[in-house]
């Protein structure tokens, strides 16, 4: 039952009461954490409540209802989404793009109903995500749908359950009002830019296709047939409308509706209440200013007539609600002409195409180049040289080509052929099986070489101050270096003839290079730029091998036996060391005295914090992959096995745990989360306490 001693009441009625109380408490603490960002109990206490809830559900599986906090994930994958008819049309909005358009909207309305001149407005940010429609019966979340065509949407209930800030049961707050018997709420599912970048990073690392923008990522994640995939996606929710309210005391204004949703425990958009359109225009400008630094994409504001009865009377034109209007921000997407496609060569030799554009302004910035991701992308989107193309730049994201405007084709456009030779050195390019990228395989390619040097000198690697991209390119162009080892043979007089180098700067750089000889082994390994060897893998290697000599003799089999290193990376490492030119490089490094030896003698096993403990992992941990968690435990002296038995000391449980959890519960193996694992390693007092508690519970 977790690392906690749990005493359940013997009396059935008492147990039932406690069960209901726990569900309420946990919902409330979820809400404090995910909606208010203001938790009032520690993770440890939270885990304790969850453990108690699980213990009761274990004893009484018949009590478990879908609104239990344990039921966020758990629905099996579906083969398709069920269609659901919306209880009322899910309308959309007309757009205006300037103040005059906004004034014209109100004048049109005033002709239909002069009351609009007396009412006030709410102004809300327009979140660039996708509409979700959430149904609650007696406060319980029973159905969630996408917008679809506004009449019929798709049932994505199981996926929406995994969104932590979505209330499964309301009221969520102890002081919250009682919801009406039937309530349908509309909101936006979205992803922050930071979460989107991190997700794409993960997808790329797994060889999967990244999403083009946060909106697509949110839509793709919500429309997953397997809810356990959605559960791992950082989807968020903000609500902004009551679609159906069946019950007494229905809010009469949009402002009151938002306050009411907030009181029920929903995450709600931040709104301004404006007495007139001048105020609404100021609110628009406020959001426009915030937009570049706002954590998620906004594409405008929505201005709504506050009086809901008046809104209803105004009705709709086609599918657009009359009583609201989207005041859109200037486009982050524009069209321009694609003049040329050029190719960048990266450190590992990967070739990346980019677009050369007729300069165009997007959101106040002049854009001349945009990324085309990879050669498959160009082919799949059928992007041709000379095309009118849609370019998008959102937030801090690098501008990219969304696609061509096919209707604007003249027939003059040219189909682009990916290069067969490296544009910088002319060596033939290669495609690696199973990857989309093309590679220049000439390790002496000047483009690769200068990127390699830049990487070698970067802060996380050898940290050579004053050696960035520009200087690296200068050194390569002047043929002063043929590989990273040559850096250590540079003399100030070699550098003085270079542009921008005077005596002082030349001396400083040479000193900085020499000073880097003492960097630890892991940084040198990382700096070599071996494919697949990032900072984490480099550390694992430096922990296992005392120096580069030992590493270069390692076999692929031996390398992949290291926790955290897979067979593909192992092979990359072996291939790298096998190359003649890299062997020469190593010799030069050794002669120059760049030959660190692993400094830390590994502490004897018994001294390590997790010595003698056996762990099993289930589910997805919040910050570590399973491999990383394994490596982490082993580094600290623990053992990791694959299945739970009586010998297991702890089961580490992440999101969407598998059957191991049940087994652990049956055997009485304590369960902990990632955070607790880290605390065990970092905090000896905590560890002792936990182990003592464990000994007690195991009798
Ligand atoms: S109100 C009758 N409020 O924008 C229309 N929509 O372009 C009700 N959106 O489909 C929508 N933030 O997905 C409203 N604060 C907000 C919004 C918002 C984003 C989205 C929503 C809608 C689309 C219309």
For residue 128, give the ligand 1 atom closest to its CA: 19
Q: Which long-range contacts (CB under 8 A, 24 or more apart) does 282-287 make?
A: 283/123, 284/123, 284/327, 287/123, 287/125, 287/329
237-246 pLDDT, tens digit each? 999 999 999 9
Q: In sequence order, what DSSP letters do the residues of 309-325 get, joined into one string?
A: HHHHHH-EETTEETTEE
Give the separation between CA 685 and CA 693, rounded to whole angstroms: 12
**Cβ pair 346, 451 in contact under 8 A:** yes
Kindly state if the Cβ of 92 falls inside 6 Å of ligand 1.
yes
Residue 1 has pLDDT above 70, yes or no: no
Q: What angle do CA 628, 634, 640 make, to 5 degrees?
A: 85
Q: Is the beta carbon of 192 within 6 A of some atom in ligand 1?
A: no
610 CB less than 6 Å from ligand 1? no
Q: Quick one: fold of 605-698?
A: Rossmann fold (3.40.50)
Sequence ranges of the domains in the chain: 12-64, 95-328, 333-431, 446-591, 605-698
Residue 607 pLDDT greater than 80, yes or no: no
Does residue 188 line the site of ligand 1, with CB under 6 A?
yes
Fold category of 333-431 in CATH? OB fold (Dihydrolipoamide Acetyltransferase, E2P) (2.40.50)
Query: In the 8-state DSSP scheme, what is residue 498?
Result: S
H or E element at residue 476: helix 469-477
Which phi and psi (to 5°) does residue 190 adopt?
-150, 175
Distance CA 353, CA 375 (A): 7
Does the pLDDT of residue 434 top 80, yes or no? no
Could you count the other beta carbons within 10 Å of the beta carbon of residue 35? Answer: 21
Whole-number pLDDT of residue 394: 64
Contact (Cβ atoms closer than 8 angstroms) between residue 657 and residue 618: yes
Q: What percent of the chain has pLDDT over 90?
A: 60
Pick the closest to residue 392 from 337, 449, 334 (CA basis).
334
319 pLDDT above the threshold of 70: yes
Q: Which residues contact 299 (CB under 8 A, 6 or more apart)?
A: 126, 128, 326, 328, 329, 332
pLDDT score recorded for residue 656? 83
CA of 618: how far to CAs of 25, 51, 674, in Å?
A: 26, 16, 11
**How far, in Å, from the CA of 367 to the mean position of ligand 1?**
29
- CATH architecture entry for 12-64: Orthogonal Bundle (1.10)
pLDDT(69) > 50? yes
**One-letter-per-residue 3-state SS of 409-435:** CCCCCEECCCCCECCCCCCEEEECCCC
DSSP state of 480: -
CA distance 431 to 441: 10
| CA-proximal residue: ligand 1, atom 5 (nearest) | 92
91 Cα: distance to centroid of ligand 1 (angstroms): 9
Look at 111 and 631; give whichever has higher pLDDT: 111
Residues facing 316 on adjacent strands: 321
For residue 699, name the pLDDT band (cuts at 50, 70, 90): very low
Active site residues: 126
* DSSP letter assigned to residue 177: P
Average pLDDT over residues 7-26: 92
Query: Residue 519: what are its φ and ψ, rounded to 5°?
Result: -65, 150
Question: Would you say the CB of residue 240 lies under 6 angstroms from ligand 1?
Answer: yes
Residue among 129, 159, 127 nearest 144 (CA): 159
Q: Matching CATH topology for 12-64 and 605-698?
A: no
CATH value of 95-328 in 1.20.1260.10, 3.40.50.300, 3.30.470.30, 3.50.50.60: 3.30.470.30
**Whether the CB of 127 sits within 6 Å of ligand 1:** yes
Residue 326 near residue 240, CB atoms below 8 Å:
no
d(CA 558, CA 574) in angstroms, rounded, equals 10
- Whole-number Cα distances in Å, 673 to 164, 269, 395, 615: 17, 32, 35, 12
Q: Using CA positions, which residue lies closest to atom 12 of ligand 1?
A: 126
3-state SS string for 278-289: HHHHHHHHHHHH
CA quadruple 641, 644, 650, 651: dihedral, nearest 10: 100
Residues contacting 340, CB < 8 A, separation 6+: 355, 356, 385
Nearest CA to ligand 1 atom 7: 93
Q: Is residue 479 exposed (0-12), middle (13-18) or buried (19+ Cβ within 10 Å)?
A: exposed
Q: pLDDT tens-digit profile of 99-147?
A: 999 999 999 999 999 999 999 999 999 999 999 999 999 999 999 999 9
Q: Which pLDDT does position 456 carry in this prediction? A: 96
Report the C-alpha gap between 400 and 408 in whole angstroms: 19
Ligand 1 pocket residue status of 326, Cβ below 6 Å: yes
Percentage of the residues of the chain whose pLDDT score is greater than 70: 97
- pLDDT higher than threshold 90 for residue 78: no
* Nearest in space to 155 (alpha carbons), one of 258, 84, 222: 84
Conformation bin of residue 592: beta by default, left when phi > 0, alpha when psi is -120 to 50: alpha
In this prediction, residue 365 has a pLDDT band, given cuts at 50, 70 and 90, of confident
The pLDDT of 348-376, averaged and rounded, is 89
CB distance 322 to ligand 1 below 6 Å: no
What is residue 661's predicted lDDT score, i.e. its pLDDT?
87
Q: Please, what is the end-to-end C-alpha distance for the chain in angstroms? A: 14
Angle at 582 between CA 576 and CA 586, to 5 degrees: 120
Residue 635, judged by CB atoms within 10 A of its CB (0-12, 13-18, 19+), counts as middle
- Which ligand 1 atom lies nearest to the CA of residue 90? 2
Q: Which of 127, 148, 257, 272 to mutate to test the pocket of ligand 1 (most atoms within 8 A of CB)?
A: 127
CATH number of 446-591: 1.10.150.20
Quick one: which atom of ligand 1 is closest to the CA of 126?
12
What is the atom index within ligand 1 of the atom nearest the CA of 316? 2
- Among 195-199, 322-326, 522-526, 655-659, name the one with the lowest average pLDDT: 655-659
Shortest-distance atom of ligand 1 to CA 124 = 15
CA angle 437, 438, 440 (to 5 degrees): 135
How much is the average pLDDT of 226-249? 93
Q: Is the CB of 438 under 6 A from ligand 1?
A: no
pLDDT band at residue 641 under the 50/70/90 scheme: confident
């Amino acid at each position: 039952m977790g690392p906690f001693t749990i005493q359940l009441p013997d009396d059935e009625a008492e147990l039932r009461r406690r069960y209901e109380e726990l569900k309420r408490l946990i919902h409330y603490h979820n809400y404090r954490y995910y909606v208010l960002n203001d938790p009032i109990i520690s993770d440890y206490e939270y885990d304790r409540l969850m453990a108690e809830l699980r213990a009761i559900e274990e004893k009484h599986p018949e009590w478990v209802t879908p609104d239990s906090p344990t039921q966020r994930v758990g629905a099996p994958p579906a083969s398709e989404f069920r269609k659901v008819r919306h209880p009322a049309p899910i309308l959309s909005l007309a757009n205006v793009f300037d103040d005059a358009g906004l004034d014209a909207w109100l004048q049109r309305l005033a002709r239909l109903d002069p009351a609009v001149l007396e009412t006030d407005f709410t102004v809300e940010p327009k979140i660039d995500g996708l509409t979700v429609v959430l149904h609650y019966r007696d406060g319980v979340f029973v159905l969630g749908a996408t917008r679809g065509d506004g009449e019929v949407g798709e049932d994505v209930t199981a996926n929406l359950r995994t969104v932590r800030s979505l209330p499964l049961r309301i009221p969520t707050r102890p002081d919250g009002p009682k919801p009406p018997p039937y309530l349908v709420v509309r909101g936006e599912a979205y992803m922050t830019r930071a979460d989107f970048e991190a997700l794409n990073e993960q997808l790329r690392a797994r060889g999967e296709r990244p999403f083009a923008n946060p909106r697509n990522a949110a839509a793709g994640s919500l429309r997953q047939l397997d809810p356990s995939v959605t559960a791992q996606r950082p989807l968020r929710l903000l609500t902004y409308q009551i679609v159906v309210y069946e019950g007494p005391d229905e809010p009469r204004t949009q402002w009151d509706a938002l306050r009411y949703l907030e009181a029920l425990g929903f995450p709600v958009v931040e709104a301004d209440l404006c007495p007139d359109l001048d105020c609404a225009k100021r609110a628009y400008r406020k959001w426009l200013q915030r937009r570049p630094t706002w954590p998620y994409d906004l594409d405008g504001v929505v201005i709504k007539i506050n009086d809901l009865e008046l809104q209803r009377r105004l009705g709709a034109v086609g599918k657009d609600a009359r009583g609201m209007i989207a005041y859109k921000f200037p486009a982050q997407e524009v069209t321009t002409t694609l003049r040329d496609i050029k190719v960048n060569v990266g450190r590992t030799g990967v070739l990346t195409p980019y677009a050369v554009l007729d300069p165009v302004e997007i959101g106040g910035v002049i854009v001349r180049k945009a990324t085309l991701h990879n050669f498959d992308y160009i082919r799949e989107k059928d992007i041709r040289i000379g095309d009118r193309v849609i370019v998008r730049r959102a937030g801090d994201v690098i501008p990219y080509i969304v696609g061509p405007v096919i209707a604007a084709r003249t027939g003059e456009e040219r189909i682009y052929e990916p290069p067969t030779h490296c544009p910088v050195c002319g060596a033939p390019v290669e495609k690696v099986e199973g990857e989309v990228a093309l590679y220049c395989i000439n390790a002496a390619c000047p483009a690769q070489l200068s990127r390699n040097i830049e990487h070698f000198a970067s802060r996380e690697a050898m940290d050579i101050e004053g050696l960035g991209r520009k200087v690296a390119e200068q050194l390569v162009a002047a043929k002063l270096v043929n590989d990273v080892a040559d850096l250590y043979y540079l003399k100030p007089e070699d550098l003085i003839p270079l542009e921008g180098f005077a005596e002082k700067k030349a001396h400083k750089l040479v000193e900085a290079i020499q000073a880097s000889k003492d960097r630890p082994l892991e940084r040198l390994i990382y700096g070599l730029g071996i494919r697949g060897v990032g900072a984490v893998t480099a550390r694992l290697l430096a922990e296992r091998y005392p120096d580069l000599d030992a590493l270069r003799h390692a076999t692929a089999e031996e390398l992949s036996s290291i926790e955290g290193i897979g067979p593909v990376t192992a092979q990359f490492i072996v291939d790298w060391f096998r190359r003649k030119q890299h062997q020469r490089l190593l010799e030069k490094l050794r002669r120059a005295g760049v030959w660190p030896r692993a400094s830390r003698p590994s502490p004897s096993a018994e001294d390590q914090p997790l010595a003698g403990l056996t762990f099993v992992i289930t589910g997805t941990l919040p910050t570590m992959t399973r491999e990383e968690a394994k490596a982490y435990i082993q580094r600290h002296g623990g053992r990791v096995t694959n299945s739970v038995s009586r010998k297991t000391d702890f089961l580490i449980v992440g999101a969407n745990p598998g059957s191991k959890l049940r087994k652990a519960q049956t055997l009485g193996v304590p369960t902990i989360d990632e955070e607790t694992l880290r605390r065990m390693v970092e905090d000896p007092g905590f560890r002792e306490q936990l182990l003592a508690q464990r000994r007690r519970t195991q009798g």
